[in-house]
Amino acid sequence: MTESWFALYPPVGGGRGAYSRMVAELREHGHCHLPALAGRDSRFAETAAARFTDLADDLWNQLEAELGLGRSPDRLVLFGFSMGALIATEMAARLQQRGTGAGGLVVAGCPPPHLLAGRAVHTLPDEELTAALAAQGTVPSMVLDDPELLSVMVPVWRADCAAVASHPRRPVVLDCPVHALGGTEDPLAREADVTVWPRLGGAGSSVRLLPGDHAAVLDRQDLMAAAVLAAADRPSEVGARW
């Protein structure tokens, strides 16, 4: 198989539906690998991983299964927002260690791994944890307004936040192009940190900053899809095309 394909990794609490608008666009151009994370979707009954290494190992096994179908790593573009960006970066690093790197990496709303802040929101009581995530503007109101749904989501949020907190703070240097999208007013991914991403990638890496905060970046799934498609089509021209 030589067509482009895409692997999309969700933010904290997200599942396969996190990027529904993006997926609708990307599926017109290639296969979308939407991994199943423990604690949601088809794996709802499982306990979400609270350590990044466990989370990454699980998702790596799922990606390897796709590679086993004959999909080419160098035609793969990895994408993630926030926590998903860390996962996508880890997958890119493992592919590189395997000997055949990915075709490209697109990250949004996230600082590079070695610049992650030492936030410990996973240790907060349920109400404070919920308030902290709600303040980011990325939690749907339907969840916040439904006590039963909220009781289901809080353990998943807590595990995801713990996984992020346990991520090793070490620089990652990739051979593939890295393209980053950030918000000028995002306290979780500061402008100064987001602009470091291209230095960690290969030729053609780029960064784009949008006015707005964390939620504003996530809302621009049109731009994120455009970046992923540009990375798959003409990696050296992404900066000029999204």
Tens-digit pLDDT profile for residues 199-223: 999 999 999 999 999 999 999 999 9
**Nearest CA-CA partner of 6 in 104, 95, 97, 85:** 104
Q: What's the Rg (C-alpha) of the chain?
A: 17
Residue range 39-95, pLDDT digits in tens = 999 999 999 999 999 999 999 999 999 999 999 999 999 999 999 999 999 999 999
* Contact present, 47 and 53 (Cβ < 8 Å): no
Task: Give the CATH H-level superfamily of domain 5-237.
Answer: Alpha/Beta hydrolase fold, catalytic domain (3.40.50.1820)
* Contact present, 104 and 176 (Cβ < 8 Å): yes
pLDDT at 117: 85
* Contact present, 26 and 146 (Cβ < 8 Å): no
Q: What is the pTM of this model?
A: 0.94
- In the sheet with 76-81, reading across from the earlier edge strand, the strands are 31-33, 5-9, 76-81, 104-108, 178-183, 206-210
136 has pLDDT over 90 = no
Residue range 59-75, pLDDT digits in tens = 999 999 999 999 999 99
